[in-house]
Chains A and B, each alone.
Chain A
Amino acid sequence: MIEVAGLKKSFGDVVALRTVSFKAEDARVTGLLGHNGAGKSTSLRILYGLIQPDTGFAKIDGVNVSQDRILAQSKLGVLPDGQGLYQRLTPREHMRYFGRLHGMTEDMIEQRSQELIGMLDMGSIADRRTGGFSQGERMKVCLARALVHNPKHIVLDEPTNGLDVMTTRKVREMIQELKTLGLCVLFSSHLMYEVSKLCDEIIIMAEGRVAAQGTPEQILATAEESSLEDAFVTLSERVAQI
């Protein structure tokens, strides 16, 4: 389970998070929905230990990220914003490097890499350097890198941002698959239909605040609207007026 409570964060004069609290349960897909600049990435970055909150905390399986970053990070698989890869390393070498950083043995890495290569259909590219990869191929390597240590929690920051239709579909299938494996999946998006299709639970963020959290039905009821898109707009505006 992922839990954040009372997160506040400012960058100089800019207030990124005012108060953010939410939960993401195991074996469920939780979607973090918000406009650009709503505070999604900042919340996630605090969650995976990249930056420190001014107040509040983030916990992974009860482990406070600020207090024991390394233990918390070992429970997380993360697909951060942007698809930064080492162009001169192959997908297999990426998995080996990240597996070793997670303290896995060589046998475990070998076995898990083979599994992921099958799961992500990477057989033909596993031993090619990532330098000339297409965006879809790069996304696969990023996912494999995030999953190599078999984490129980997976955080994806705008995973379908800028991808073509085929790859987007693959990523969505992947998210469903991870859920059936019992993982706690938390992902951010600014696309309404994506979130409504994939998520069991939706968190709507606006202006550095959580506007609403609940199942799609609960969100509709809170906003007193009939479509999720209208609900999203209504709730975002409601927060903006505060």
Chain B
Amino acid sequence: MNILRTIVAKELLDGVRDRRSLFSAFLFPFLAPLFIYGLMTLVIQQNTETESITLPVINADAAPALVAHLKEAGFIIEAFEGDPEAEVAAKTVELVLSIPIDYQKTMAAFETTRVTIIHDGSRNDTSATVRQVRNLVRIYSSELNALRLVSRGVSPKLMRGLQTENGDIASDEQRAANFLSFVPIYVLMAAFVCGLGLAIDQTAGERERRSLEPLLINPVSRLSIVFGKCLAASIVAALGMLITLGMCLGAMLMLPIDELGIRFSLKAQQVVGLIMAILPIPLLASSLQLLLGLFAKSFKDAQSYVGFLVFIPVVPTLVMNFLPFATSFWMYFVPVFGQSIMMKEILGAEPVPLLAYPAAALPTLLAGLLVCWLTSRLLDQERVIQS
């Protein structure tokens, strides 16, 4: 116990004094949520902004009723002259609605009249507006159809053979959790990012500085050396992870996501649940980093190997998005995967079985200890000790 405390204290002191790498380690917890907050605010704005969008229309005079319908929905109509395709391509206008010159003539003849929306389908920022205009034209068209039927003595109901009702079973919180699925990724990523520098410095760095050999000459078991180093890196990683969690939750509460028709609220109970769920992750993350750090031939090698580990937390969320499934209990047992599911459920205010906590924590902690043991075995190999 004393030996462990000695190693942890030394590694933390050494790590804290390395201001530059400490700074870069904690850039992630502070910057990532801010970046996400900015991005999400932008998305929400784009999705909710309807008023005062200018819509350039060719030949607007030919269809006063349609134009009035668009104006009513909040568009400012602007007469457009020139080459619509060229201007859309040059991004001087977002989209152009083109009304044919014979609009009135075909209308009067009860023929199909075609209006054209000229836009750039590869642009993400205009797709919402395009969809909105297309929808408004469709609504106008169905109103027109109804009037045409009525004028011939036919009930407009005949046109509505089928209609869908919205039966969304997801609660507002669940939809919010889905919308904010980046939170579990970022929080778990922080566990892999924040202790990374310290873990490499303690392994590949220690070997490259030739201080590994003097350390191993001490009358201490290899396992306690590895475990002490792992604990030191985990403490830093856990700190970074908890800061990221706090920042992300803060950002979620501040985001005006209710404007999207979804709701997010947070109880103290949920925060405690989240922390309990993710706390074992740093130990596993740090132990893997130490293993790769010792396994790598050099400091630079170690950095690129360990860098790949950062993508581990992305996998579960990707799987959940592309292969939707219902949660079965065995899934909690899979390290990182279990924690991702739990975070998503807790954020969505879904009930999480109490047994899920130990079910997720134990395999993760055991895996971390196993990796520590493997790492300590590496320290018996000449190839690993000598730089």
A residues adjacent to B (C-beta < 8 A): 11, 48-52, 69-71, 73-74, 76, 78, 80-89, 93, 97-98, 100-103, 129, 142, 145
Task: Kindly state the separation between the CA atoms of A127 and B104 in the bound complex, as whole angstroms.
Answer: 93
CB neighbours of A142 from chain B (8 A): 214
Residue of A nearest to B217 (CB): A78
**Which of B14, B18, B216, B219 gathers most chain A CB within 10 Å?**
B219
- Residue among B215, B382, B385 with the most chain A CB within 10 A? B382
- A101 and B211 form a contact (CB under 8 A): no
What is the CA–CA distance of A213 and B91 in the complex, to the nearest angstrom?
89
Contact flag A84-B213 (CB < 8 Å), given A50-B385, A101-B3: yes
Q: Apart from A97-B10, A101-B3, list 12 A-B contacts with CB within 8 A.
A: A50-B216, A50-B385, A69-B219, A73-B217, A76-B217, A80-B210, A82-B213, A84-B209, A84-B212, A84-B213, A86-B211, A103-B3
Say whether B380 contacts A52, CB under 8 Å. Answer: yes
Chain B residues with CB under 8 Å of chain A are 2-3, 6-7, 10, 13-14, 17-18, 206, 209-221, 380, 382, 385
Question: How many Å lie between the Cα of A101 and that of B3 in the bound state?
Answer: 6
Q: Which 4 A-B pairs have the closest CB atoms?
A: A84-B210, A84-B211, A82-B210, A74-B219
Chain B's closest residue to A16 (CB) is B382
- In the complex, what's the smallest C-beta–C-beta distance from B280 to chain A, in angstroms? 28
In angstroms, Cα B215 to Cα A85, docked, is 10
On whether the beta carbons of B382 and A11 are closer than 8 Å, the reply is yes
In the complex, the answer to whether B17 meets A88 with C-beta atoms within 8 Å is yes
Cross-chain contact of B218 among A11, A81, A87, A101 (Cβ < 8 A): A101
B216 to chain A, nearest CB (A): 6
Assess the A84–B214 pair: CB atoms within 8 A. Answer: yes
Residues from chain B with a CB closer than 8 A to the CB of A76 are 217
- List of B residues within 8 angstroms of A101 by Cβ: 3, 6-7, 215, 218-220
Question: Which residues from chain B contact A74 at a C-beta distance below 8 Å?
Answer: 219
**What is the bound-complex CA distance between A70 and B218, given in angstroms?**
8
Q: How far is the CA of A103 from the CA of B3 in the complex (A)?
A: 8
Task: Report the Cα distance A145→B210, complex, angstroms.
Answer: 14
Check if A100 sits within 8 Å of B213, measured CB to CB.
no
Known: A11-B382, A89-B13. A70 touches B220 (CB 8 A): yes
- Docked CA distance A103–B219 (Å): 9
Q: Please give, as numbers and ranges, the residues of chain B lying within 8 Å of A93 by CB-CB distance.
A: 10, 13
Q: Which residues of B contact A49 (CB under 8 A)?
A: 216-217
- Docked Cα-Cα span, A127 to B385, in Å, equals 29
Report how far A88 CA is from B12 CA in the complex, Å. Answer: 11
B219 touches A87 (CB 8 A): no
Known: A78-B214, A84-B211, A85-B211. A73 touches B219 (CB 8 A): yes
Assembled-state Cα–Cα distance A74/B2 (Å): 16
> Quick check: B218 and A102 within 8 Å, CB to CB?
yes
Picked from B2, B7, B213, B380, the residue with its CB within 8 Å of the CB of A80 is B213
Partner of B14, one of A80, A89, A102: A89
Give the residues in chain A near B382, CB-CB below 8 Å: 11, 51
Given the known A-B contacts A51-B382, A85-B209, A102-B219, are A97 and B214 also in contact in the complex, defined by CB atoms under 8 Å? no
Complexed CA–CA distance, A52 and B217 (Å): 13
Contact present for B210 and A71 (CB under 8 Å): no
User: Closest A-chain residue to B3, C-beta based?
Assistant: A101
Residues in A neighbouring B213, C-beta threshold 8 A: 50, 80-82, 84
Q: Determine how close the nearest CB of chain A comes to the CB of B223; give it in whole angstroms.
A: 12
Q: Contact between A100 and B214 (Cβ–Cβ < 8 Å)?
A: no
Q: Which residues of A contact B14 (CB under 8 A)?
A: 86, 88-89
Chain A residues in 8 Å Cβ range of B3: 100-101, 103
